Amino acid sequence: MIRTAGLTEATEETFEAQVLESALPVLVQFTADWCGPCRQLAPVLGEIAREEAARIKVVQLDVDRAPQIAVRYGVLATPTLMVFRAGEPVKSLVGARPKRGLLRELADVLDPAGR
């Protein structure tokens, strides 16, 4: 697993509590150790996790260690970023992107009026 400061690892055992039951929206990075773009994206997600901690929680889920969850949500490529709100996926993005672009794509999730 790509370890990044500010990011929590979700597993098969913790996914429900960390993601589905979270009071905040949760951005899940479906990742893998062998994924180059995932490694590039991890520090960006770490920064977002620290800067936006009051508005969104960011976790990583290794698709090789939790394949059932990846299959359940139709994840076919890494990195896939999926936003969950109230236990339901509300947004899905595939591929690495720069921080500014990612924040722009997450604006509706980060805006409390978007609830």
Q: What is the pLDDT of residues 36-68, one digit of tens each?
A: 999 999 999 999 999 999 999 999 999 999 999
pTM of the model: 0.92
pLDDT of residue 44: 95
Q: Is 94 helix (H, G, I), strand (E, B) or coil?
A: strand
pLDDT of residue 1: 58
* Position 114 pLDDT exceeds 50: no
Identify which of 80, 68, 74, 72 has the alpha carbon closest to the alpha carbon of residue 32. Answer: 80
* End-to-end Cα separation, the chain, in angstroms: 32
The residues carrying an active-site annotation are: 35, 38
* Position 93 pLDDT exceeds 60: yes
pLDDT of residue 84: 97
- Residue 80 — φ and ψ, nearest 5°? -110, 130
pLDDT of residue 110: 86
Is residue 88 within 8 Å of residue 82, measured between CB atoms?
A: no
Local confidence band at 83 (pLDDT 50, 70, 90 cut-offs): very high
